[in-house]
Amino acid sequence: MKTILRGKTREVVIDTNGPVIIIGECINPTRRKKLVSTLQERNFEYVLELAESQIKAGADVLDVNVGFPGVDDVKLLPETVLAIRGKFDVPLCLDSPNPKAIEAALKVAGGKCLINSVNGEEKSMKALLPIAREYGAAIICLTMDDDGITHDPIKRLTIAEKLLERALKAGIKEEDVVIDPLAMAVSSDPRACIVTLETIRLVHQKLGLNITQGSSNISFGLPNREVLNSAFMTLSILNGLTCPIANPEKITAIVRATDLILGRDDYAVRFVENFQAGGS
């Protein structure tokens, strides 16, 4: 399965049989006070710094999340997208719970974006699937619905199947559906990661779709987050994860190593390139 995303001209292919595509997570106000204060002043210098450093570190796509209390994201998300677009030809993953902000951003983004995200709630599907169709965007589908979050991987698979069916009905192509199995903090639920890993395996095996996740979520509240995130990344990729949302400055080396081990990096070209670029 191939999901194609585009910046202005640059194309990125997320291929279930290809190397892992990293969606950079850092344009996100969670734990970044400086991002909130600069965005409040409509100063996009810091956003552009984060974009550049992530691309250098191996991000193929950038997640753009400008959510903080009191924000008018219908205005700010498109403004941020335009600032990034002015300097970088990279596909964008538009991360907002507000469908109006997503639509406003899609209007100015051009190329082919990834919408982050729809979920199995009726309200969410009704609002977002037509927008994805209208703008020709790909869409991340979270495996939760009106009953909330289930801890049963088979039920998460069933929600993924429902989302796929509804997306197809709305005129979205199968390859433009990307499933999120839900990665959550293992500090508060000891089975959180194993449920996610099993969901990845099932979605990969039964649906063959591309799979994303907010990989760094799992280590909230724990020390040595990098080590934990790395271990989880490797296991997730083995099970079928193809396009994690993660911090490229911390995760690219382990992703390249895993691709090499899994036979997706002939002659270790990408692994060596990342090492030579000083990447970790």
Torsion 55-219-191-189 (CA) sign: negative
Give the number of residues in contact with ligand THG, rule: CB under 6 A.
22
CB of 227 to ligand THG, least distance (A): 9
CB of 267 to ligand THG, least distance (A): 29
Measured from the CB atom, is 111 or 248 closer to ligand THG? 248
φ, ψ for residue 226, nearest 5 deg: -60, -40
Measured from the CB atom, is 245 or 257 closer to ligand THG? 245
Interaction of residue 217 with ligand THG, rule CB under 6 A? yes
Q: Which residue is nearest to ligand THG (CB)?
A: 214
Number of Cβ within 10 Å of residue 191's Cβ equals: 10
C-alpha 78/C-alpha 107 separation (Å) is 8
Residues in region 169-198 near ligand THG by CB under 6 A: 180, 183
C-alpha 105/C-alpha 76 separation (Å) is 9
Measured from the CB atom, is 7 or 248 closer to ligand THG? 248
C-alpha 133/C-alpha 164 separation (Å) is 13
Taking the CA of residue 226 as centre, how many other CA atoms within 13 Å lie in the half-sphere pointing to its CB? 9
CB of 63 to ligand THG, least distance (A): 6
C-alpha 262/C-alpha 225 separation (Å) is 24
Q: Exposed (0-12), middle (13-18) or buried (19+): which is 74, by Cβ within 10 Å?
A: middle
Residues in region 225-254 near ligand THG by CB under 6 A: 225-226, 229, 245, 247, 250
Number of Cβ within 10 Å of residue 43's Cβ equals: 12
Give strand ranges (E) for 144-251: 177-180, 210-211, 245-246
Q: Which of these ranges, 24-32, 39-47, 129-137, 165-173, lies near ligand THG under the rule CB under 6 A?
A: 24-32
φ, ψ for residue 14, nearest 5 deg: -95, 110
Interaction of residue 36 with ligand THG, rule CB under 6 A? no
- Residue located via tokens 């194309």: 11
Interaction of residue 274 with ligand THG, rule CB under 6 A? no
Residues in region 54-113 near ligand THG by CB under 6 A: 65, 95
216, 236, 239, 242: residue in contact with ligand THG (rule CB under 6 A): 216
The residue ranges that bind ligand THG (CB under 6 A) are 25, 28, 30-31, 65, 95, 116-117, 140, 180, 183, 212-214, 216-217, 225-226, 229, 245, 247, 250
